[in-house]
Homo-oligomer: A and B are copies of this chain.
Amino acid sequence: MKDYELTLQVMLDRAVSQFGHKEIVSEEADGTTHRYTYDEAADRMAQLANALDELGLEMGSRASVMAINHHRHYELYFGLSCSGRSIHMTNHMLPDEHIVEIVNEAEDEVVFVDPAFVETVENVADQFETVEHYVVLDDEVPETDLEPIQSYEDLLSGHETDYEWPDIDEEREAGICYTSGTTGLPKGVAYTHRNIYLHTLTHSHIDVFKISENDVVMPVVPMYHVNGWGLPYTATLCGSKLVLPGPKTDSEQIAELIDREGVTITAAVPTVWREMASFYDERDDIELESLDRVLTGGSSPPEWLMEKFDKEIGAPIYQGYGMTEAAPNLVNTMTTTEVKEELDESGRYQQQMKPGIPAPGVQIRLRDQSGEEVPHDGESSGEIQARAPWLIDEYYKRPEATAESFTDDGWFKSGDVGTIDEYGYLEVVDRLDDIIKSGGEWISSIELENELMAHDAVEEATVISVEHEKWDERPVAYVVPSTDDVTADELRTHLRERYPKWWMPDKIVFVEQIPKTTTGKFNKKALRDDFDEEYDGLPLEE
């Protein structure tokens, strides 16, 4: 008798044996729509596994996948992991040198790549140290120097649609993903089958995201970043219809897909929903009728946006707080009984704006700079530290980063600053790196930027911390205006309604756009460097 291991095989088995007829819809690069079932997907995963055997890819070896969200990418999620290999979800938007570094560090032996990113790979392939095969995720191979190379369809073709999935220990690595690199070099996070299984099971818990077989799930968040927030796995375990938007990621296309496929739940970073909000106002023919709720995370969504989705679109935004290290979810929107009973509508609403309550199994604590526990009063802030059954306990091959990011008693140091209120709700104040330490007090860059973005004349805004001779650090805002005539004074007046004088940005820079990281976050590091270069610190001589 063999122990029952928590593996991706169990998830796939449920989809196939219970919901094999359910649909996976995938938008393709050429504008067509690909439709098939879990049954058919599983057949192709078996073909893939057989093909990888023939390629000589051993259990435990890794393959890099550089692709957007489509059915072949989905097949690689399970075909690689269920056959004992590991999928390295590679962000093709990383700078070349990062791609080289992580593919070499992960010792990827095969690179699966979308036709659209073949050029990206060509530029760096000569620096790859371990890659032995290239596979283009298509039915033909474009003009290229890469070799040996074949198309994914050629790779699969002729192989059996049966495969004897090997016994897999739940502690075996199923995939590896790198952090966004917002605060430095991306760090490798290797997920075991167990990590993913437990994250997935908790994802669909009634007090988390309640993802059901009855849902139609569309991850807009890229599958190369933290497993598309786990949604492809969750849809599989639940047997939900899965919609993969492929290249369709602008508001119009997303909205059309939601309406066409009856999507009930979708997920993306706040920027995507900010765009959708304006688009929704412009277009009368968009219904979003089927949409039940929208997941967001990765950065803090502004309040007006959450209100808009809840009240006008009728699909409340559920926030998740997490990170690559946690696969990613730790904390999520929830209305507790206490909040229901004790607060009025507006109070309840305020609570819903916060990331919320730790998911079952997750432990969260706040520590101040001397390592002391911070009171849960909604005011006092400290570093968010976490434990969870699916949180990694080390970075891949980065002992120094590991030592910095985990406490002696095994808690993960998120690098984020948060508060917990008397109802137990977590709020993210800022990143430790981004928070503005002004004259011994803290100013939240997130609060300021969200308040700026609540102003009608502001399209986007971000606030960074800049060194200051006297106050140590002071806030500087970068604003993309939506009209020509808005002034810095006007925006300061707006901010003063909510924040004290000493919170006011020392400078407001109007720009045409704000640089973003490859996962859609404001790139504050780049802005800080720019500011130093242009103005050489604060105070300014203006």
A interface residues with partner B (beta carbon < 8 Å): 1-4, 6, 10, 13-14, 17-19, 21-22, 198, 201-202, 204-207, 210-214, 237-239, 241, 334-338, 340, 357-358, 360-361, 363, 387-389, 391, 393-394, 406, 410, 424
Contacts and interface: CB of A to CB of B under 8 A. Distances in A.
Contacts of A1: 393-394, 406, 410
A423 to B, nearest CB: 10
Contact of A410 (B2, B213, B363, B387): B2
A337 B214 contact: yes
Contacts of A394: 1
Contact of A424 (B18, B205, B238): B18
Quick one: which of A1, A14, A214 has the most chain B CB within 10 A?
A1
Contacts of A198: 6, 201
Copies per assembly? 2
29 contacts: A4-B387, A4-B389, A4-B391, A4-B410, A6-B389, A10-B361, A14-B358, A14-B360, A14-B363, A17-B363, A18-B357, A18-B358, A22-B338, A201-B201, A201-B202, A201-B205, A201-B360, A201-B361, A204-B207, A205-B205, A206-B206, A206-B210, A206-B211, A210-B210, A213-B336, A214-B336, A214-B337, A237-B360, A239-B336
Given A4-B391, A204-B360, A338 B14 contact: no
Nearest to A22: B337
Given A1-B410, A4-B393, A210-B210, 17 more contacts: A4-B388, A4-B389, A6-B361, A6-B389, A10-B363, A14-B361, A14-B363, A17-B424, A18-B424, A19-B336, A201-B205, A204-B205, A206-B238, A213-B336, A214-B340, A237-B361, A238-B360
A453 B87 CA distance: 57
A338 B21 contact: yes
Quick one: which of A198, A206, A424 has the most chain B CB within 10 A?
A206
Nearest to A363: B13
A62 to B, nearest CB: 23
A358 B237 CA distance: 11
Contacts of A10: 361, 363, 389
Contacts of A388: 4
A318 to B, nearest CB: 13
A207 B212 CA distance: 6
Nearest to A338: B21
Contacts of A205: 201, 204-206
Contacts of A410: 1-2, 4
Contacts of A14: 358, 360-361, 363
Quick one: which of A14, A210, A361, A394 has the most chain B CB within 10 A?
A361
A393 B360 contact: no
A241 B337 contact: yes
Nearest to A210: B206
Contacts of A238: 206-207, 360
Nearest to A390: B4
A338 B14 CA distance: 15
Contacts of A391: 4
Contacts of A358: 14, 18
Contacts of A335: 214
A290 to B, nearest CB: 13
A388 B406 CA distance: 33
A330 B129 CA distance: 48
Given A205-B201, A360-B237, A337 B18 contact: no
Contacts of A2: 410
A3 B393 contact: yes
A213 B389 contact: no
Nearest to A20: B424
A388 B388 CA distance: 22
A205 B213 CA distance: 11
A448 B506 CA distance: 83
A521 to B, nearest CB: 28
Quick one: which of A2, A4, A406 has the most chain B CB within 10 A?
A4
Nearest to A360: B237
Contacts of A202: 201
